[in-house]
Structure 1
């Protein structure tokens, strides 16, 4: 009987100079990275964090957000100038950071800065009144996300995490999660960037109205139409980025609440493509992902439980930007390093447990 790659990896892990399971979750990560890369000697090369930014038409109403829409563009400029939390963590851990304008309501070309220009439009439309974007725009955003990751993979990167910036995007994420998971909107509605109790209730009422207006309960198996109704350009582009990352056999590090919503969209598209005979050794796109942390945003823990996944960290964070992914990547590097560099009982001349 031939030995599978999983059995080979598990044998290597179990025979390192340690008791069985003594490195806990790091052993699981080592096994997963080997399976993703289809090798007993996985490596982490040029890890990247990509932050996708986009504006949401609903934010202009002030019904679901504590901060004005202009903050999206201001924060993009903060990323570019190195002043955000994600900049700090990327510098500390030597991660490459790139920022993508997926659809910010601001013209960065008038003040040239180091932003990848993939703009679909100057923010989405107000989904209280009409679909956030056209189906064509949703597909266009997905394809641009694929293209961006394809170019990053070609540069030698094989480990990638995604972040986001967009005032109002927790609302889009809430609606997407509710529709795909088939659970009430209120289950996933949180305070976002800092709503008080009255504002939170207004947000819940508004999103429930949107859910019913667009009949989102009928769109759980129609991810592109769901994106078109309530998504953001940055969420759509991130979904495409996930799809290309799995195609490139990259190690994908999932950040928080909004990036998980984009993953749900990507996984639904992946499953449809797989059904159409797209070759993949993974049952779902989620099998290809390592989940960085549990966001403190309401609903993230629920959706992680719904997906049956266990994140690496639980630090009470809810910032977004890819900050959780940036903190998790060094742990993944440690898992790969112990697999490749730690001595075995045999090589070290250490007696194993009888």
Structure 2
């Protein structure tokens, strides 16, 4: 799919962030009241109960159901790959997109296992963004247009959006985004990604340091995205924003998808209240990013594949939570005495 969305100026994006709705408190309270009547001790299903209530609040359904879950994978290439920051060449991005289409990737199997829809968005793979150690990734119009493209990606209809990505060198780009947004030594945000050796790590660290130094202490989140981000990161940030405006709960995958979400967090710490963070990646700085934003991941599986795989696993749990909430009998339905007799 080519970039065809009309551009949203950054001021319009900022206005959309300011207009984000909060949760539907009436639906949330309705879900909480039903949970109290289900045939189980109060709180006995732990976080499953919290997940059902979370879906209720953000979907506006007091008795939440998930019938159209979607994993959306955004794929892009990056000029910084030429700096030798990845264990794989940039051509692998295209090859993996073809593998997704053929049904041969890990994410395909997880979508089958959990009955999830899957869409893959090719973000101009044959035109990598510039090397962020030397030049800005976008001008404002193209960055905004890519965010708008991500916003339109949810237009087909879904009631649970799971974000995924594919892009050789995108952990380098994500590390630069985190370092610029949250500070600290740029190299501390760098990890092995696809499995680079010590020399690769040194090149990767140098690339992130150079990219962050080049933008000279820029603090505006959208400008940081424009200058050191990537197309998949911009598109995912747009998708998260569109989902909030449409009251669609979102599951964020790993290190790179969290970088996209972090751009919105830096604009407004409440911008991610409709998001569940699926897991903590084996990429070391992911835990640091989650802690910086005060987010608790659902899973810790030692995963670092990307593709939305962690989000797909979490979606299975979220679907189970809503099925339990909707399908369980109440004490009255089952003729079972509750704690009050």
Residue 133 (str. 1) matches residue 155 (str. 2): no
Deviation at 1:338, TM superposition (A): 1.4
Deviation at 1:198, TM superposition (A): 2.8
Instruction: Report if the CA contact (8 A) 1:5-1:38 is conserved.
Output: yes
State the partner residue of 2:99: 78
Distance 1:6 1:244 in 2: 21
Distance 1:183 1:29 in 2: 33
Secondary structure class of the residue paired with 1:144: helix
Residue 41 (str. 1) matches residue 63 (str. 2): yes
Instruction: Report if the CA contact (8 A) 2:69-2:117 is conserved.
Output: yes
Deviations 1:157-193 (A, max 9, x none): 2111111111110011111112222233233210010
Aligned length: 316
Q: Give the 5 Å matches for 1:148-227.
A: 148-150=153-155, 152-153=156-157, 157-215=158-216, 217-219=217-219, 222-227=220-225
State the partner residue of 1:263: 261
Distance 2:87 2:319 in 1: 37
Instruction: Report if the CA contact (8 A) 2:279-2:297 is conserved.
Output: yes
Secondary structure class of the residue paired with 2:192: coil
State the partner residue of 1:102: 123
Gaps of 5+ in 2: 1-24
Distance 1:4 1:139 in 2: 35
Instruction: Report if the CA contact (8 A) 1:240-1:266 is conserved.
Output: no
Distance 1:180 1:162 in 2: 21
Deviations 1:258-298 (A, max 9, x none): 001011123445x3xxxxxxxxxxx7221101111111111
Instruction: Report if the CA contact (8 A) 1:130-1:229 is conserved.
Output: yes
Residue 13 (str. 1) matches residue 11 (str. 2): no
Instruction: Report if the CA contact (8 A) 1:145-1:239 is conserved.
Output: yes
Distance 2:272 2:223 in 1: 21
State the partner residue of 2:290: 304
Distance 2:60 2:305 in 1: 34
Deviations 1:60-80 (A, max 9, x none): 121x21111111111111111
The alignment's C-alpha RMSD in Å is 1.7
Residue 146 (str. 1) matches residue 151 (str. 2): yes
* Cα distance change of structure 1 residues 72 and 4 upon mapping to structure 2, 3 Å threshold: closer
What's the TM-score, normalizing by structure 1? 0.85
Instruction: Report if the CA contact (8 A) 1:56-1:168 is conserved.
Output: yes
Distance 2:178 2:51 in 1: 26
Secondary structure class of the residue paired with 1:160: strand
Distance 1:103 1:266 in 2: 23
Gaps of 5+ in 1: 106-121, 272-282
Distance 1:12 1:170 in 2: 43
State the partner residue of 1:123: 128
What's the TM-score, normalizing by structure 2? 0.88
Deviation at 1:4, TM superposition (A): 4.9
State the partner residue of 2:111: 90
The 4+ residue runs of structure 1 with deviation greater than 4 A are none
Distance 1:159 1:183 in 2: 34
Distance 2:151 2:141 in 1: 15
